[in-house]
Amino acid sequence: MYRFVVCRGVTAKARPKGLSWFGSFNLSSRSIHSIPFATVDVEEISGSQPAEVHNLVQGKWKGSSSWNTLLDPLNGEPFIKVAEVDEAGIQPYVESLSKCPKHGLHNPFKEPERYLLFGDISAKAGHMLSLPKVSDFFTRLIQRVAPKSYQQALGEVQVTQKFLENFSGDQVRFLARSFGIPGNHLGQQSHGFRWPYGPVAIITPFNFPLEIPALQLMGALYMGNKPILKVDSKVSIVMEQMMRLLHYCGLPVDDVDFINSDGKTMNKILLEANPRMTLFTGSSRVADKLAVDLKGRIKLEDAGFDWKILGPDVQEEDYVAWVCDQDAYACSGQKCSAQSMLFMHENWSRTSLVSKIRDLAERRNLEDLTIGPVLTFTTEAMLEHMSKLLQIPEILKKNTYELVTREIFGPFQIVTDYKRDQLPMVLDAVERMHAHLTAAVVSNDPLFLQEVIGNTVNGTTYAGLRARTTGAPQNHWFGPAGDPRGAGIGTPEAIKLVWSCHREIIYDVGPLPRHWEIPPST
């Protein structure tokens, strides 16, 4: 495991200013009036017609004395104004959270009708997102603020739609299913319940403007919590519009507070409002700070330096190359699950896999947003990092390992090969990584799969010939492992883990045994 190369996605020549790239999808122009909840027209957002993003607190949409102007990531034109709350304006949000009791807005003994309410809201919202004009509205809005291909943006909308459908009808109350155990004597039984935390906070990043905040928000609400939601201001317009859709579908307007602010202001809100639980999705540096500030009352889905190991059985070379390209470069590599490091068995090194990955990367272009702007890392910084890596002869040396495993949130991956007897070195390399989100073991060799899976820990691991590192559908758990703070998303298990705690109630109603007498002291 000595030779390695660095692969960057190939960027294409930028198009002129404007929104002409929407035209390639042959979409007819639609007024916002055909979408009853919408307050923006995606195609009209521009410097001359900037959109506005508001805050929601105590049931009312509000502006701000301080508006932050965002630049279009494709042409640099000012195009969205965000009403940002500063430290002087946090009191209404602190008060709103403080009004929610620790036992929540509902629980199995309090307003259980709300479980049914949220089943109905989910059904209606899922139906709304299934409508082509609504699905297209959110897909194009995502593209405006987090440029990615139409299919990648649509995938977010579809996952959110399916998630909402999954939790329609009685499925919300099934999340609160309890269990009972017989007691020691007649009239005694113990019952375990899922209990809300009450006031909670949700903080989510820019790269999935709809899917991450929507799924975590609904999970929090299903279990009876009162959330304050902060999405990265660069993309918060998407979730602001989703909030309006949820209100249209019956969500009580005072159930959720929605805030735009910088990190320092949000940190102050958390310290003063003291939410009982905070869900944070983002960088490890901020995650570790919040874990200390909030005294451990936090769940995290932080950074992921995600790896893929190719086993000894070489087959379906074109397919494996295509998946590697998708994993590393779709969404311009700006996924927490993006393929950061590829370990190739020596058998794969003898194939044309790397050249095929290169050819696939070269197909990507700005025209259709299969490659796009990197929002948190500069080209110069990536090139500098690449230059340093190419001077390293061996990955596992102590003074080089940290550099090699530094996460670059962009179209960037490291490719290395290993010999048959070097698999323990590969496993040592992945063991030393500090983030364990996704992984892929590409092999149909059962003994190879057994060895790799049995000696690794990543929370979402794909195994088999079709294994990938990316993809967070609504039908399976997505989240890290190996960290008690780790959060999940999308499934009943994830919702119960993140958004509820266990409460045991022991009924002991008698009757007392006949002729009972006070026993001796013990």
Q: How many CB atoms lie within 10 A of CB 439?
A: 29
Concerning whether 156 is annotated as a catalytic residue, the answer is no
Residue 446, both tokens: 């059962």
| Placement of tokens 């999940």 in the chain | 488
CB 375 within 8 A of CB 73: yes
3-state DSSP assignment of residue 69 = strand
Residue 350, both tokens: 């003898």
Sheet holding 4-8, edge to edge: 4-8, 412-418, 339-345, 306-310, 438-442, 460-463
The amino acid occupying position 444 is N
Residue 506, both tokens: 């022991």
Rounded CA separation 441/469 (Å): 9
The residue annotated as part of the active site, out of 100, 249, 336, 407, is: 336
Concerning whether 317 is annotated as a catalytic residue, the answer is no
Rounded CA separation 124/416 (Å): 48
How many whole angstroms from its chain centre is CA 306? 15
Rounded CA separation 322/359 (Å): 10
Rounded CA separation 140/40 (Å): 12
Residue 129, both tokens: 């997102």
Rounded CA separation 249/45 (Å): 25
CB 178 within 8 A of CB 190: no
DSSP of 169-212: TTHHHHHT--EEEE-SSTTEEEEEEEE--SEEEEEE-SSSTTHH
The residue annotated as part of the active site, out of 165, 211, 301, 407, is: 301
Q: At what angle do helices 150-166 and 132-145 cross, to 10 degrees?
A: 130
Q: Which residues are catalytic?
A: 301, 336
